A and B are shown apart, each in its own frame.
Chain A
């Protein structure tokens, strides 16, 4: 009986972990997609309207980034602190790229800024595409994880 209860506990724990991981993957993808949208907006505002960064950040709206508190930090402290606040939500290479982007943007001519936006957007889009392609397989893996874990425990104890 105790062995069955232990297997059930492992199953529940693995289920919760799997769900957590699925949520994390989806959230990471949402963050990458939202940042892609932000950079597109920045590019348009810089190239066509020559708006200063402060004004661009004030005008920009995105429900997801607002929900995770990114927009508040962006408007209050600027892009670098805002990116830093979501470090854990980003793949390391994208985080580094965004830190470099945040440190550089605003220091050049409009055409240089547009190129910088394009380069960063390209990286974000590629990462987003990779994540989207891997998403079904990863979700499947994390959904199967609890069943596999429980079955392994049962096999061990029987």
Chain B
């Protein structure tokens, strides 16, 4: 935790994006999390992803629940509105916000306690509704703010800092998201930015419910021997199924690849996902086999990462409901209020 304010001055040579903004314009307040916290790396990855996508920061709405992870939206995208809501209930608040204005980009940040314990129901229902959002769980398997209790994503047999073994089965949010109909599912590791940044970029440009489970070790309470969410453990057991490069629609693909090693997926908005295969028989478009693969590798003690599933032509909640293109919060009074004439007609029918 640092007490020094961040200097406002930019280095004159800082690179700018298409909007003429520097990376610094995408930052937020100084983090108050512990030094070395995985969550801060995720915040930095978000800053980089949004900067590189040339998105105007104020067109993003960042929402969170309660917990260490849910504090992080203060630490990125300072020009965006943020909402630190109620423990476990970010998905409903985000859903409502999305209903009100479909033109903004919704970034939900949550933790394993927030999403897998108290908020498991809301997590599930937001996935199955296809809310257009990026939902990142900063997953450290432990309650930090209340000092070290197991969370519902802690693996069975994992040891707490005090040496107590967890006896409950772990909830696998990735498996749940897949089963519940999320149309973009990925898993990253806060210690691997080269994998995480393209995942976040692709998710931001995905239409529909995009879920990223990001293993993010807690340096204070869950980074010891016996933990299955420590930096060392995750590095050792990380098995990426693919390597993702995100290419915005404007760029041309020039490099040639060996046939069968790279797949290019065009998303709804024209952006391209270039997927270099690492696991030979992994198909990120097959929800059923993805689930099977995930479970078999998890049983073998591996942590499967990468872009696990994507439906590039997904629809979102607004499509399902048939709402107008105009954001609901921008409809005019004439469009909303039927007026006295309609009421007179209705009165006549009620006599």
Bound together: no
B residues apposed to A, CB below 8 Å: none
Q: Which residues of A contact B (CB under 8 A)?
A: none
